[in-house]
Amino acid sequence: MRIDGRKQDELRHIKIETNYIKHPEGSVLISVGDTKVICSASIEDRVPPFMRGEGKGWITAEYSMLPRATEQRTMREATKGKVTGRTMEIQRLIGRALRSVVSLEDLGEKTIWIDCDVIQADGGTRTASITGAFVAMVLALGKLLEKGSIKKLPIKDYLAATSVGIVDEIGVVLDLNYEEDSKANVDMNVIMTGKGQFVELQGTGEEATFSYAELNELLAVAEQGIQDLIQKQKEALGELAQHIE
Amino acid sequence: MRIDGRKQDELRHIKIETNYIKHPEGSVLISVGDTKVICSASIEDRVPPFMRGEGKGWITAEYSMLPRATEQRTMREATKGKVTGRTMEIQRLIGRALRSVVSLEDLGEKTIWIDCDVIQADGGTRTASITGAFVAMVLALGKLLEKGSIKKLPIKDYLAATSVGIVDEIGVVLDLNYEEDSKANVDMNVIMTGKGQFVELQGTGEEATFSYAELNELLAVAEQGIQDLIQKQKEALGELAQHIE
Amino acid sequence: MRIDGRKQDELRHIKIETNYIKHPEGSVLISVGDTKVICSASIEDRVPPFMRGEGKGWITAEYSMLPRATEQRTMREATKGKVTGRTMEIQRLIGRALRSVVSLEDLGEKTIWIDCDVIQADGGTRTASITGAFVAMVLALGKLLEKGSIKKLPIKDYLAATSVGIVDEIGVVLDLNYEEDSKANVDMNVIMTGKGQFVELQGTGEEATFSYAELNELLAVAEQGIQDLIQKQKEALGELAQHIE
Amino acid sequence: MRIDGRKQDELRHIKIETNYIKHPEGSVLISVGDTKVICSASIEDRVPPFMRGEGKGWITAEYSMLPRATEQRTMREATKGKVTGRTMEIQRLIGRALRSVVSLEDLGEKTIWIDCDVIQADGGTRTASITGAFVAMVLALGKLLEKGSIKKLPIKDYLAATSVGIVDEIGVVLDLNYEEDSKANVDMNVIMTGKGQFVELQGTGEEATFSYAELNELLAVAEQGIQDLIQKQKEALGELAQHIE
Amino acid sequence: MRIDGRKQDELRHIKIETNYIKHPEGSVLISVGDTKVICSASIEDRVPPFMRGEGKGWITAEYSMLPRATEQRTMREATKGKVTGRTMEIQRLIGRALRSVVSLEDLGEKTIWIDCDVIQADGGTRTASITGAFVAMVLALGKLLEKGSIKKLPIKDYLAATSVGIVDEIGVVLDLNYEEDSKANVDMNVIMTGKGQFVELQGTGEEATFSYAELNELLAVAEQGIQDLIQKQKEALGELAQHIE
Amino acid sequence: MRIDGRKQDELRHIKIETNYIKHPEGSVLISVGDTKVICSASIEDRVPPFMRGEGKGWITAEYSMLPRATEQRTMREATKGKVTGRTMEIQRLIGRALRSVVSLEDLGEKTIWIDCDVIQADGGTRTASITGAFVAMVLALGKLLEKGSIKKLPIKDYLAATSVGIVDEIGVVLDLNYEEDSKANVDMNVIMTGKGQFVELQGTGEEATFSYAELNELLAVAEQGIQDLIQKQKEALGELAQHIE
């Protein structure tokens, strides 16, 4: 039995509030249980210097946590004067994941800036960020579509992420909260598309290892969770969902 | 007539949601019109090195804006690797203001960390931060009182802040939004206590100046606005308000 | 009776040595009692990127203290690798104050760099910096006038600054030295023009507050001090003073 | 047919020169084709502050490339003043991987510092670093054993890493060189133990995705490659290999 | 004939004003022609961590230039966020030179902080800094002697520095000003003691070279200049000079 | 008798392996006893901004040590976030020295980047870097010659460097290893050309001084050592040596 009473393959309660803040072209507040992330998507009409003149767009992501998103106050990275390795890893992961389902050619020479700011953390902040950021990005692209700046959504497929892990005495579990995550022997983040293709797979056993059989079990549970998350994304997008094949 | 139809001495709509996030000892989401700030107060059981052994507490504040709190995306200070002068000024101001109404002796050797994170900005973010941070701080101290760590709230008086300014063709106005602020000739932040004493007064006319008569007019309008804000703080604090004389 | 025998509304001894160093277009060594600041003004024939093409000039200021300007040696900001919040606040204040009395349109696309370097500190370094920087700036503009690069001084009025405060057992005092400043309950910096208009007002009571009546008393004393300082500026400028209405 | 004539499941030429530099407790120069990395292991007789008093050891890793390890000169991170996100990701990965096969309790309160410095890069620098670092670490621990500071090697199993990927017109390939890597649709780093357990799995398709069937094919090829690498490690370790079960 | 009419082996006008600023234990304003440096010496009653418990003192130096010490304004190192290589070289040189004539054992566990701040630069700022810093340091030690904290000056000999160079059409010249320095083929800084021993010799020909014969000529001229500088130091020290053998 | 049995005027064993790494235009591994440095030279087809349009080339150098090049592990400068003063001094020295023997006009608007990375340190790393970097630079220029980008080697003379010092009970010694260096009273780095001209002379006696007579003795020994080093350079360059007069 899991700490919060969930079944092994059960997601936490998911809520995606769209247009949560007024300035960005697209924004959501995504809640995955007690994990809450403001995701916003900003469109800029140019690309970084290394991509100019190629006729393609770019997507870049930043991630941060409020100091008291966590149980113990975390020092601000701005105060430290540098971004930690963990943050950089997450930022790179979010950007890479989103780029895998966007046709950068169809986007044209624009940059989509994704900002994921965790206001409350209870495990799974990077996967919630990806799931929420996908919706914010589609909302922002929807604005471009409405204004006629693009002719169709440059989106190739849905994209969502979740975590799976192996916890002593329970086994494989889906969508770990903070307490489960800190006890898990194996922790795996899975990012998949609506068609069930892998985009990214990151499995690690900090002081443990895992077998081929366990890997298969983890992936099966993850796949189901991701399909449920994509269903929530479709509901949040409403009419816009029809523009994604 | 003001842009948003308000009277010259009218505040924007004020809303203070208490216990907005779950981890901090005290937290609020304060909305002053479209300006929204998450204020949290964290209690640490020790003081900074320069104050150890004096038997007194300390209050320190940090302030930040999400990149898309603003109309144009602002680069993160963590990415820049340093905190801007504007942020430092605001952080110092918030800390100084809160310390003026707390008996640091009664607090004892504890540090209160205040975090003000602007999630949506429409002018007056520093004054909203102070008004909200006061409530978050009292909530956190209320927790200490409940646990019996302190015998009474070490609060000497209420504290709130607002802005006043002089706008062409309108004159003195209270609680400027972003559009008014960018057009104002004179901009003044006023921080006052419940008893109507000044805590801090910062008036500036970037490319203008102001007379003694104008100063008096500005202060009269500010004082009324602050009393209204303090009324909202009392409502938000509920029962706890009784512990502040 | 004040520590150094001055009357409550008496300035310290003021001395302004013009053209103190040879390279800058304008420079002074200003002494306000034992506080000594080298102020220099440099003219650059372009404006920062964000202002290009607007036909207007810009004024920016930097402030620093030699490590042993203070009683205890202060670590260099260059060694720390960053500018402190206090320094940034002062730099922004000096720039803002000077811009309020200069017609940036008449200046044209030029930048005036102000450098205020405190070589000996005894309280009031920021107000001495402003008073001295005004003179250095006019001297530099005088050079432009002489060379025919500008047709008249783009100066709208005189500008000077001083501090006032409230000290226990004495009351309101003008131009606080370091010892008075560290004991004062209320500390206010006032920046005014030759015509008696306020440019900036910054009053604070770190762990105290002040009433409306006290504010009025502080401002009256400040105004008189500022008029005396402007008299000293006129003497230092000599002939050039005739070019300022 | 692969660019360099290898079969799809064939590693590049592997060479591990032990005790390559004289100061570290353990060091190797590992060559994987044209990728060359100096790996050194240093033993420090204490652990980082966050681990003191727990009776356990710690392993931490740093990674860098000489500026001309790459075809185009790369700017030094020391010159930039900060470590890039890519480097941080790799450093964290190496440390995490090594910790998974070491009994930190048996190590006792010691820190093993791993330094991986790439002197020539041709793809696969992070996996070569892990494979080489394992040998350097065992050599360093061997010194401790010899001196009697530890009673047995605190090593639970062998550890090696390689990359697999999917390249157009060829399919799944093992141990990609730089040219293959830059063309691959899918790139996966696999870290495994001598007993064939997974330690870390990182698969990504930057602008592509991969199916479950492809994942299985990739893992099969990786596993064989890793067993070959572990054979090379055993040869390099010579007598010391007998101390690892 | 030299630009300013001096003979080849003639120093510029030297002036050493003692106790130039009031807070440091020792301070001078040294003028070498138009080069002006404020040198101060601060005594701290402890040594850096790496020297504790050895019963010896330490001397460390910092050097900086005001932004408009130079003809073109130089950006502040504090603004850049880092100290340049040139500054570091000079700081290390000043500290090393002073330590060579102080008995660190006789000084005891104290640190002497030397600050050299160039307020006007016209070539030779590092050598003027050393010559001035020696006097400031002796003044500070004189204070300790007066207070009885030390029994005798821990000074082994006088120390001064100057530059020599080779300029086209003139040959070897002493004490180069900025214009000469920028034209010189060879530039050499010489630091010597009162007894004529070398402390440091740094000769360089950026895009030129020099012969053994030229080296000898340069050293002869430098030696005479240094003896003249030491005479000026003795005059500046007055009575204190008697305490140095 | 010296620690390692050498005669006072005897160099350590010198070995220069050319084309040590494959990507740079020129590279060597130079060994001077146990000091080993990888020197690489990269050619870039443009000059830094401050030199554009002058038709001249530029040479710039960077220097670093692997963390375990030294007996105790040294923290990486990238991790510290800044380059130390010692490194900056060495980088400036290497660049300046190489520029003295290259005709920057004949080179044309190109930059030569020199990278010296010490993989094992035993004293004399900066002089070994210069001696090795000269060879790497000539190799890189040889590539340009071969491709016809330049018509002749823009090299005016050979260049090598060594250290000399004075050690108690032994006297003047050539090419100090680490142990000798840490005991030496006087330490001097000498950089000379093939024709026996001085390029740079840096002599220092940290807590000692040296006489004119000692200087002469040091220089005589250095000169002989440098001629031997240049002989090794010629052998390493092979055919290319004929292109240097």
Closest to C145 measured CA to CA, from C107, C101, C113: C107
Q: How many CB atoms lie within 10 A of CB D208?
A: 16
Quote helix, strand, coil % in chain C, to nearest 5.
Answer: 35, 30, 35
> Dihedrals φ, ψ of E210, to 5°?
-145, 155
- pLDDT reported for residue B205: 81
**Looking at this protein, which amino acid is placed at residue E60?**
T
| CA pair distance A203, A205, nearest whole angstrom | 7
Q: Which residues of F touch E (CB under 8 A)?
A: 82-86, 88-89, 91-92, 96, 99-100, 104, 157, 188, 193, 196-212, 215, 219
Contacts of F120 in chain D (CB under 8 A): 21-23
Each of the 245 residues of chain A gets a pLDDT tens digit; together they read 899 999 999 999 999 999 999 999 999 999 999 999 999 999 999 999 989 999 999 999 999 999 999 999 999 999 888 899 899 999 999 999 999 999 999 999 999 999 999 999 999 999 999 999 999 999 999 999 999 999 999 999 999 999 999 999 999 999 999 999 999 999 999 999 999 999 999 999 867 899 999 999 999 999 999 999 999 999 999 999 999 97
Q: Could you tell me the pLDDT band of residue F206, with boundaries at 50, 70 and 90?
A: low
Does the beta-carbon distance from E78 to C83 stay under 8 Å?
Answer: yes
Residue B126 labelled as part of a binding site: yes
Find tokens 């990182």 and name the residue.
D202
Interface test with C, best of E62, E119, E122 (most C CBs within 10 A): E119
User: Cβ–Cβ of B201/C200 closer than 8 Å?
Assistant: no
Nearest by Cα to C180 from C162, C201, C196, C198: C162
| Mean of the per-residue pLDDT values of chain D | 95
SS3 of chain B: CCCCCCCCCCCCCEEEEECCCCCCCEEEEEEECCEEEEEEEEEECCCCHHHCCCCCCEEEEEEEECHHHCCCCCCCHHHHCCCCHHHHHHHHHHHHHHHCCECHHHHCCCEEEEEEEEEECCCCHHHHHHHHHHHHHHHHHHHHHHHCCCCCCCECCCEEEEEEEEECCCEEEECCCHHHHHHCCEEEEEEEECCCCEEEEEEECCCCCECHHHHHHHHHHHHHHHHHHHHHHHHHHHHHHHHCC
Inspect the interface and report whether the beta carbons of A79 and B67 lie closer than 8 Å. Answer: no
Where would I find the H helices in D148-211? 178-183
Q: pLDDT for C218-233, tens place per residue?
A: 999 999 999 999 999 9
CA–CA gap between residue B156 and residue B107 (Å, rounded)? 11
pLDDT value for A50: 87
pLDDT of residue D225: 98
| pLDDT on residue B206 | 67
Phi, psi for residue B133 in degrees, rounded to 5: -65, -35
Task: Indicate which of B74, B87, B198, B216 best probes the interface with C, i.e. most C CBs within 10 Å of its own CB.
Answer: B198
pLDDT score recorded for residue C1? 83
F124 is in an annotated binding site: yes
Helix H or strand E segment including C237: helix C212-237
Neighboring chains of F (3 or more beta-carbon pairs < 8 A): D, E
- DSSP states of chain A as a string? --TTS--TT----EEEEES-SSSSSEEEEEEETTEEEEEEEEEESS--GGGTTSS--EEEEEEEE-GGGSSSPPPPHHHHTS--HHHHHHHHHHHHHHHTTB-HHHH-S-EEEEEEEEEE-SS-HHHHHHHHHHHHHHHHHHHHHHHTSSSS--B-S-EEEEEEEEETTTEEEES--HHHHHH-SEEEEEEEETTS-EEEEEEE-TT--B-HHHHHHHHHHHHHHHHHHHHHHHHHHGGGGGG--
* Per-residue pLDDT at D207 exceeds 80: no
Question: Which residue stretches of chain B have pLDDT < 70?
Answer: 206
Cβ–Cβ below 8 Å for C117 and E34: no
Give bridge partners of residue F14 from the DSSP assignment.
F32
Give me the residue from F157, F200, F212 closest to E204, CB to CB.
F200
Q: Which residues of F are less than 8 Å from D19 in CB distance? A: none
Q: How far is CA B203 from CA B212, C161, E16, F173, in A?
A: 12, 14, 46, 71
pLDDT of res. B1 = 82
Whether the ipTM is more than 0.90: the answer is: yes
> Which H or E element spans position F92?
helix F85-99
Binding residues of E for phosphate: 86, 124-126
Residue E245 has pLDDT above 80, yes or no: no
Question: For testing the chain C interface, which of E22, E23, E31 should be mutated: the one with the most C CBs within 10 Å?
Answer: E23
Does pLDDT of C81 surpass 90?
no
CA-nearest residue to D220 within chain A is: A212
Interface touch C40/E115, C-beta < 8 Å: no
DSSP E6: -
E118: closest chain C residue by CA:
C66
Residue numbers in F near E130 (CB within 8 A): none
**Distance (Å, whole) CA D19 – CA D7:** 32
The pLDDT value recorded for residue C245 is: 75
d(CA C79, CA A240): 55
Among B77-81, C37-41, C200-204, whose mean pLDDT is lowest? B77-81
* Residue D102 pLDDT exceeds 70: yes
Residue C207, pLDDT > 90, answer no
Residues B31, B14: contact at Cβ < 8 Å?
Answer: yes
Instruction: Count CB pairs under 8 A between chains A and D.
Output: 97
Residue A82: its chain B contacts at CB < 8 A? 78, 81
Smallest CA–CA distance, residue A74 to chain B, in Å, is 11
Q: Could you tell me the pTM of the whole model?
A: 0.89
Q: Residue B113 burial by CB count (10 A; 0-12/13-18/19+): exposed, middle or buried? A: buried
Judge contact between E120 and C23, C-beta under 8 A. yes
**Four-point Cα dihedral C214, C218, C221, C223, nearest 10:** -130
- Contacting C with CB below 8 Å, chain B residues are 82-86, 88-89, 91-92, 96, 99-100, 104, 188, 193, 196-212, 215, 219
**Residue E211 token pair:** 């012969």
Chain B contacts of C211, Cβ < 8 Å?
196-198
Max avg pLDDT among C198-207, E75-84, F109-118? F109-118
Give the integer Cα–Cα distance in Å for E225 and E164.
9
A40 with B66: Cβ contact below 8 A: yes
Structure tokens at A18: 């769209």
Interface size between A and B, measured as CB pairs under 8 A: 97
* Cα of D209 to nearest chain F Cα, Å: 33
Q: Per the CB < 8 Å rule, is F83 touching D83? A: no
The predicted-structure confidence for C127-165, as pLDDT tens digits, reads as follows: 999 999 999 999 999 999 999 999 999 999 999 999 999
Q: At residue D59, what is the residue type?
A: I
- Number of Cβ within 10 Å of residue D81's Cβ equals 18
Under 8 Å between Cβ of E154 and E102: yes
**Residue C13: what residue type?**
H
* pLDDT on residue A206: 67
Enclosing H/E stretch for F58: strand F58-65
Distances (CA, A) of B213 to B210, B216, B220, C34, C198: 8, 5, 11, 35, 11
Buried b / exposed e across B210-230, counting CB within 10 Å, b at 16+? beeebbeebbebbbebbebbb
**Helix or strand (DSSP H, E) at C1:** none
The pLDDT, as a whole number, for residue E196 is 94
Phi, psi of A29 (to 5 degrees): -110, 115
Query: Using CA atoms, how far apart are residues D200 and A206, in angstroms rounded to an integer?
Result: 9
Distance, in Å, from the CA atom of E128 to the CA atom of E123, rounded to the nearest integer, reads: 9
Chain C nearest CA to E210, separation (Å) = 33
Distance from CA of F19 to the nearest CA of D (A): 12
Name the minimum distance, in Å, from the CA of D197 to any CA of chain A: 5
Closest CA to D142 of D134, D133, D132, D152: D152
Per-residue pLDDT reduced to its tens digit, C90-111: 999 999 999 999 999 999 999 9
Distance from C-alpha of E28 to C-alpha of E16, rounded to nearest angstrom: 6
pLDDT of residue A205: 81
User: Is F76 within 8 Å of D62 when comparing Cβ atoms?
Assistant: yes
Partner residues linked to E83 by β-bridges? none
Of D81 and E199, which is predicted with more confidence?
E199
> How far, CA to CA in Å, does F205 sit from each of E58, F164, F167, F183, F189?
16, 12, 11, 11, 12
Report in angstroms the alpha-carbon separations of F167 from D28, F13, F35, F180, F186.
35, 20, 20, 7, 7
- Across residues F187-205, what is the average pLDDT? 95
Inspect the interface and report whether the beta carbons of F66 and D117 lie closer than 8 Å.
Answer: yes
Contact check, Cβ <8 Å, D38/F115: no
Annotated binding-site residue? B86:
yes
- Taking CA atoms, what residue in A is nearest to D208? A100
pLDDT tops 70 at residue C114: yes
| DSSP 8-state class, residue E34 | T
Q: In chain B, which residue's Cα lies nearest the Cα of A43?
A: B73
Q: Which of D70, D115, D120 sits opposite F67 (nearest CB)?
A: D115
D200–A205 CB contact, under 8 Å: yes
Contacts of F70 in chain D (CB under 8 A): 23
Q: Which residue of D has its CA nearest to F26?
A: D68
Residues of A in contact with B82 (CB under 8 A): 78, 81
Sheet containing D171-174: order of strands: A171-174, A159-167, A186-193, A198-204, D198-204, D186-193, D159-167, D171-174
| CB-closest option in D84, D199, D203 to A200 | D203
State residue B208's pLDDT score: 81
DSSP A176-202: --HHHHHH-SEEEEEEEETTS-EEEEE
The yes-or-no verdict on residue F160 having pLDDT over 70 is yes
* Contact criterion met (CB < 8 Å) for A68 and B34: no
Cβ-Cβ pairs closer than 8 A, C with E, add up to 97
CB distance B209–C202 less than 8 Å?
no
List the chains bordering chain D where 3 or more Cβ pairs fall under 8 Å. Answer: A, F
From D84, D89, D201, residue closest to A201, measured CB to CB: D201
- Label residue A108 left, alpha or beta by phi (over 0 means left) and psi (-120 to 50 means alpha): left
